[in-house]
Structure 1
């Protein structure tokens, strides 16, 4: 396995291609198709999807029924196969083909000089500007083998093309209108195992139709947990009564991986890398996908699989897809604002219901002046408002230890008083020092002037964290309250918390599913909401500008204890956390994605209020 190979890392490079069409001139179209295929093959592409009827042209009217054209098309297909025999990509090209007494609108699948199969269009539009049934027969019930270019090839909409040397790459091809019906052929194909769904389209353009196509493709890719590759006819098609925009795009499980400009002059393609591992993992995780397969097993058993060896490039061809540096934090400001709105209200509503369910206790929370306790306190204050209870029912305690700074101590009090919650200070140092003394810890038995870093060990740190949590639980007992946890998802995942009687424990933790990188944006979103006065907003912004620190070890040479100096940047931790928990990716692939996301700061978008300097 080559670490830098996109194919070895579970991707397949696909191209949704549109090319200028020469009406009723299969020879000219063949030259265009082959030339563009060579260009795309040089880019490491493993699949090329061309438009519907691109070998002949779509807008041919009754010429589609003539023997001269149909013979020319068959000759052209043989030429395409011969001229691309040395190319790696599997190709889907559109062509009219005669069989028995009818003509079929087909997608012809070719690879390395062979025609692997032919998929006829199942559903023929005969409404508005369309009257395809005048020329074509529907192929929905065809299950046959035909002779094409002198060879027997499978013929039908039931064909799956599986790459034996690219795990997870199983292709199904449908044609234009097939995706507009309530149950597209690709839906059954996905249940039968197809991960990449291709659509060859001759769809003429009307106002708003481009968005309709994307809506359908996105929905298909989402429901089918698949990639959807769409290529429409464009330049060169007849404009007697229609027009064409050459739209191309690729979706992967509802995510738009890429799209090309519309109304192009000359060949254009959307070239992107589809993550096959992601699709396989999603299907494995979403059990109802396989339940649906079992429901339709009798139908799905009829699919025929055509195996082929893709033999793609295995060297470093880069990565043709955007990889978010902050997968928990959208780059788009509007999307980020919506995510913050939803996350905040999920937290608030969860806490409201929990407090109702256990009898409206008071909320007991330790506030440090750091990010996590700040956000938990904000959430709790809003929950009390919705419950119709006074914010004074929130009992906020700051509990300074051996390394608490004046700045964080001040911010904790300013925020608490600004929010109108009950606030008190409880110094844990006497109790912590007594515990250290009782266990004979060097810190408690060494003169202050002689103390050094060697005594600031994990015991020294955890005694403080444990003292705080123990005190909060006893305060909850005393006041009939519940301890509100503050630790975030990133800390829990990394084990950056004190297990047992420590910040690992609480009665209810509103931050447990919120990563550190998102919490910062949640606080900033709350600060900008207009809900708080100027002084409180200033405090929130000051907290955002504070170094992330547990403040358990005293500063040395003016430098406070840094969390990220110990565990690394939260940005990278959350990056790995996302891909591990969301998709279960192997460590080498997470590293591969991180390298492409972070190696060049000038590439890609950054979320608002994120510094590239770090």
Structure 2
């Protein structure tokens, strides 16, 4: 399983966007610098390397484009690059002016393993302000189905070329040049619709104040709209500064995200690499049926693309992933982004409950408060919803329902929170009713024997829910659910009762790892008293436990995470399984990258020490097996979920929304893939 540790085994591909130094109208120098960077990229296991527009001739040379000695030298340079590429791993995409049928074209030449795969001409030639490319070049629009002679080779030529690797590393890319992406409908739009996953832009693009931000916006939005990766390379140091200046800006984007960019105004040649997640792009395109609908409509009536095949094999060695993978995909590490996410999530919860209360006309909300994370967040949301619709907070009926394992600490925190928020509080001890029910069932506990099985636990969970629903009947109220997304995924909820059932569940699509930060957000928002903030801090420091089984030897509490697994790992698996449908082995690869070293990456602010730990591949494999078994066997619970608002783009498990699945499905396929493709250590 040595290939497990290579990014090329998990639908990733490494690409590079390059900025070699230039010398005005010196193809020999340009060739040397191109090959110097190409060699470095090959050593770095890059599959594609992108170079600037007209990089072999240089861009700002005006009427020198019409000089045969220069154009001959460009052809000689291309010959050298083609020959040198025989021993290089990556595809090289270089810019050059080429003569064809009495015209001159601004082109991208695609080279791999001693061959020219094809040549793509620039479609749109800028002829405004400082640009006057129409003076030299013919436009590539309408150039399809042709062949061109390059360095003694006759190769495909046109704007109708897609390049597809059919080897072990499979991907499809397309090429456009500079101005092509600045027009309303870039040529790469149709290329993406026709199957290109990676879009490459060879650019010269001089720099003016503010232009770099415009480039980023343009490339990021284009990659998002086309559900693609977009690489951009601009001319750098050494270009003529007669009238213009150059910043050597190269950048790589994926579905709207900036993955990396070079320092601007470099002293010499440089390049940036990024590991593109092809699996993510393919999943998104499959799910976005509107992308497919648009594709069929827009491609109809246009000349078909020519598919140019080539082959790239996986490197015969581990190639570690060089990409930021959030340890907590539901909780961004960036503090500013986290604050914004918490603000939105909290207000979505509040708005959802406020609307439901208004729609029903009910004046009371009934909620069970345990002193744990989920019920705390639900109670905070409920009080704020009452404020929003103009009802007294006393209309929130909050009940503590202590059972056989309820601790003094959680009970005290529950009451402290009830009092601090100014809601109506009451307590119903469920133990007498539970004893009676267990006795009626003939359960050993009813005869005084300390048997703490699932029946013992669920009798308590069921009674709590039964009381809450009857209290709602009695008071004309709505039962507010508290169970979270992570519990639903793991089946850590009793069917029909407990955290599974309510009239409306504000936490239904909030992960356990996010709920902790929502509570921190409220505590630090200034909207609650100092006393409330102190109570919330105490609740955050409490061990996550259902408190259904009395403490064991030495007072050890029943720990949820000892049973279902660490929530940081299980939320990680849930996110990638639900949001992207990734294979277990790919999720494990990403988890190993994110969690195997504590110093890698950034931590969300105020993370508890218990979550600041590393997980070995063996840990990841074990807990993923637990997750898969519990996830698939618990679908029947999710099929009957009450209503609740979707919070995150990471998805929900609502049977009416992001996750629709049969209740009698099996985890067999997923467990087999995990066992066969993930090493045990």
- TM-score bracket for the superposition, by shorter chain length: over 0.9
Query: Is this contact kept in 2: 1:466–1:503, CA < 8 A?
Result: no
Q: CA deviation at 1:301?
A: 5.0
Separation of aligned partners in 2, 1:65 and 1:460 = 89
Per the alignment, residue 679 of structure 2 pairs with none
Per the alignment, residue 132 of structure 1 pairs with 133
Query: Is this contact kept in 1: 2:362–2:478, CA < 8 A?
Result: no
Per the alignment, residue 96 of structure 2 pairs with 95
Per the alignment, residue 201 of structure 1 pairs with 203
Separation of aligned partners in 1, 2:165 and 2:358 = 56
Alignment partner of 1:7 is 2:31? no
Query: Is this contact kept in 1: 2:169–2:314, CA < 8 A?
Result: no
Separation of aligned partners in 2, 1:376 and 1:128 = 59
TM-score by length of 2: 0.88
Per the alignment, residue 572 of structure 1 pairs with 569
Q: Secondary structure at the match of 1:58?
A: coil
Per the alignment, residue 217 of structure 1 pairs with 219
Separation of aligned partners in 1, 2:284 and 2:394 = 46
- List structure 1 segments (4+ residues) > 3 angstroms apart after TM superposition: 611-614
Give unpaired runs (5+ residues) of structure 2.
614-681
Separation of aligned partners in 1, 2:497 and 2:322 = 48
Match of 2:557 among 547, 560, 579: 560
Separation of aligned partners in 1, 2:556 and 2:441 = 29
Alignment partner of 1:534 is 2:530? yes
Q: Secondary structure at the match of 1:326?
A: coil
- Counterparts in 2 of 1:170 and 1:565: CA distance versus 1, 3 Å: same
The residue correspondences of 1:85-484 to structure 2 (distance < 5 A) are: 85-143=86-144, 144-166=146-168, 169-299=171-301, 302-446=304-448, 451=450, 455-484=451-480
Provide Cα deviations, 1:233-270, integer angstroms capped at 9, x if missing partner.
10111111111111111110011111121111222111
Per the alignment, residue 37 of structure 1 pairs with 38
Query: Is this contact kept in 2: 1:367–1:396, CA < 8 A?
Result: yes
Per the alignment, residue 609 of structure 1 pairs with 606
TM-score by length of 1: 0.97
Separation of aligned partners in 2, 1:389 and 1:109 = 68
Query: Is this contact kept in 2: 1:362–1:393, CA < 8 A?
Result: yes
Q: CA deviation at 1:288?
A: 0.2
Separation of aligned partners in 1, 2:302 and 2:114 = 29
Provide Cα deviations, 1:516-550, integer angstroms capped at 9, x if missing partner.
11111111001111111111111111111111111
Separation of aligned partners in 1, 2:414 and 2:168 = 55
Q: Secondary structure at the match of 2:93?
A: strand
Which region of structure 1 is more displaced relative to structure 2, 313-322 or 219-228?
A: 313-322
Which region of structure 1 is more displaced relative to structure 2, 588-597 or 541-550?
A: 541-550
Q: Secondary structure at the match of 1:122?
A: coil
Query: Is this contact kept in 2: 1:188–1:300, CA < 8 A?
Result: no
Match of 1:487 among 483, 492, 495: 483
Q: Secondary structure at the match of 1:258?
A: strand
Separation of aligned partners in 2, 1:147 and 1:528 = 68
Query: Is this contact kept in 1: 2:90–2:112, CA < 8 A?
Result: yes
Give unpaired runs (5+ residues) of structure 1.
none
Separation of aligned partners in 2, 1:524 and 1:300 = 55
How large is the Cα RMSD of the aligned pairs? 1.2
Per the alignment, residue 585 of structure 2 pairs with 588
Query: Is this contact kept in 1: 2:25–2:57, CA < 8 A?
Result: yes
Which region of structure 1 is more displaced relative to structure 2, 602-611 or 173-182?
A: 602-611
Q: Secondary structure at the match of 2:244?
A: coil
Separation of aligned partners in 1, 2:354 and 2:241 = 61
Q: Secondary structure at the match of 1:189?
A: helix
Separation of aligned partners in 2, 1:314 and 1:282 = 30
